[in-house]
Amino acid sequence: MAACTGISTGVPEIDEINAKFCQYFNAKNFKGIGELYAEDGSILPPGSDTVIGREGISKVYEGLYKMGAESLKIEVVEFGGLGTDSKMAYERTNFEFFKADGSTLERGKYIVLWKMYDGHWYYYSDCMNSSIPK
């Protein structure tokens, strides 16, 4: 079930980071996921407070696994730069988490802000929400 699909962002480093994100989740490497975020990065998970920092972000994804998410698929839908200095960008993406039996646990979308630090891109702020009515 694991896959990163959709459009290329046009930025090879960001495409590689998105691929690593899927690989790390599917390998249960939650610390690795945290390292893809800026040190001061944040995630805004649904039904929860904002989480800031790599360690907390790693725990959010580990929590999804503990809730039954065995694998992940993402599809980049839109990507673009922000401002004129090219050190920030946005991405709009669809996601789906799968249970061990291959059925869908959660499906939704997210917006992520990217930020460049010392010449390298990192997830900076990530806001996700469900597409499944509750």
pLDDT digits (tens, 9 = 90+) for 115-126: 999 999 999 999
Percent of the residues in the chain that have a pLDDT greater than 90, as a whole number: 78
Q: Which two tokens stand for residue 8?
A: 């290329």
For the entire predicted model, the pTM comes to 0.91
Phi, psi of 72 (to 5 degrees): -140, 145
Residue 134: predicted pLDDT: 75
- With 90 as the cut, is the pLDDT of residue 68 above it? yes
Residue type, 119: G
Helix (H) or strand (E) holding 23: helix 12-26
Rounded Cα–Cα distance for residues 13 and 17 (Å): 6
Torsion of CA 103, 33, 36, 18, to 10 degrees: -20
Kindly state the average pLDDT of the residues 5-19.
86
Percent of the residues in the chain that have a pLDDT greater than 70, as a whole number: 96
Residue 51: predicted pLDDT: 97
| Sign of the alpha-carbon dihedral angle for 5, 9, 11, 14 | negative
Kindly state the average pLDDT of the residues 104-112.
95
Q: Please provide the size of the chain in residues.
A: 134
Inter-residue contact 59 to 30 (CB < 8 Å)? yes
Q: Which of 6-20, 28-42, 98-112 has the lowest mean pLDDT?
A: 6-20
What's the mean per-residue pLDDT of the chain? 92
Rounded Cα–Cα distance for residues 35 and 47 (Å): 24
